[in-house]
Structures are given as structure tokens and as C-alpha cells.
Amino acid sequence: MRDLNRLILILTTFLFLGLLLFVSDKNYFKLQNISISQVDESTRDWIFKDIKSKINLDTKAYIGKYVWEIDLKDLMETVEKDKRVNKVQIKRKFPNELEVKVLAHEPIALFYTKDGSILPIARDGDFMPQLKKGEFIDAPIMRDVVFYKDLSKRKKAIEIILTLKEENPLSSQKVSEILFDKKQGFSLILTPEAEIVRLGFDNFEKKIGMAKKVFSYMQSKGLKGRVIDVRFSKKVVVRLRNAP
């Protein structure tokens, strides 16, 4: 019984001190800082710095609110709007701080500009800050100017890469470059044999499935393709290497 009374006394004292502090300085419990860090250190520094800057900008409206008034779910949704963010962890740090930890996605592709700059492309198709000297990412590239000017085309290209996944015999790791032509649509150049896979304008999941079956068949027969055209709904056109 004495221990219970002692606990009640301690809790009452803390509540009283907290109330006294609140009355004397109401701003003390208002959010003053949102600390932003990584869940782990796997993300490249330049990627995390850019994400952190965006989070700081997007969360300015929360500064000055009482810590207990902030809807953590709403804050999490705000952070997750950046498609480069994979996971978010948020917790309150009383009396006046929030802690945000993020796990970032890696860039999905790269755009090579005519002046030699390299722009990483995020999952949502947006450009990230250009790579600095010495920075390297192993990802499919795009060079066609249409990808620079047209966000919808970049999103389609990203959709193709994500649809490929990491499964053989046609994985995203085998894609060297993505091309676009007004008449033929999207095409892939594969490594190391420089095969061309023509995909057209839509139904990428189905067409990629068709292309994988063709590659599996050719591998089983010891054949090597030069062009695999899966743009058509009822047929696949294959031009073998050394064929006319």
C-alpha cells in the first residue's frame, strides 16, 4: 500500500510540475524541432540530403503546434508523398520534438543529358539531383530527349523497369538502355549481347511475360536473338543473330 501511495505521489508531483511549466511557459510544449535521420546508413548521402531537405520544407506547418496535437499518421502520409521514401518511422520526443527516420528507395534509372550530366530518376519519374563526379549508380539509362521533356514517358519507362523485377531470363539488371520511338513505342537494349526488345506503348506486363518465354525457349535451344518484337497481340517476331 505504501508503494502505491508513493507512486501516486510521484505521478501527482510530475503532473503538477508539468502543469506549472505549461502555465508559466505555454510555448515549452510546442513543437520546436523535427529531427530527421535514416533508419540505417545504406542510403547514399546525396540522396538522403535531398530527401531531408524536402521533408524539412513539407513539415514546416507542424512547427509551433503542441506536440500532442500533431497527428502522426498525417505527418507520415506527408513524408511518404515523396516516392523516394520507402519506409517512415515517427515518434514523439517530449517535451517539444519529433523524431523522423526514413528508409529511401534507390534511384530506378538514369538520364544522360547531352552535356554529359547524369540525372537519377525516382520511382515517381521525377529527376533527382545530378550525380557528382565519382558517384555511380548501376541502373538502366535513358538518352532520348522525350524522356527529359515528358514526365509521362519517364513514368512509363519506370513502370517497365519495375515490371521486369529481378527474375531471369529477362531482369531489370539486364537492361542497359530504354528507348522511345513515336512509331514503335518503347524498346529495351539488353546487356551483354545488345539484344533489342520492342514493347510498344502499353500492356507491358503481358508483353514482358511473352518476351521471357521467348528468351527461355532460345536459351534451351542455344539460340541468340537480335530483335524480339512483342508489340503484337497474337504473335512474337524474333530475328536471330546472323539472320538477315
Backbone angles phi, psi at 38, to 5 degrees: -95, 150
Same domain, 235 and 122: yes
Q: In the chain, how many domains are there?
A: 2
In the listed set 82, 104, 126, which residue is the last one of a domain according to the structure?
Answer: 104
Q: Does 211 reside within a domain?
A: yes
| Three cell numbers written together for 12 | 501527482
| Three cell numbers written together for 125 | 519519374
Same domain, 165 and 118: yes
Taking the model in full, what pTM does it have? 0.68
pLDDT band at 24 (very low <50, low <70, confident <90, very high): very low
Rg (CA), the chain: 26
DSSP for 189-226 reads EETTT--EEEEESS-HHHHHHHHHHHHHHHHHHT--EE
In the listed set 41, 70, 104, which residue is the last one of a domain according to the structure?
Answer: 104
Beta strands of 74-154 (E only): which ranges?
85-93, 97-104, 109-112, 118-121, 141-142
CATH number of the domain bearing residue 91: 3.10.20.310
In the listed set 59, 79, 104, which residue is the last one of a domain according to the structure?
Answer: 104
Same domain, 116 and 195: yes
Q: Does 12 reside within a domain?
A: no
The mean per-residue pLDDT over the stretch 105-119 comes to: 90
Same domain, 48 and 156: no
pLDDT band at 6 (very low <50, low <70, confident <90, very high): low
Element (H, E) at 186: strand 185-190
Kindly report the average pLDDT of the chain as a whole number.
84
Domain with 168 in it: 109-240
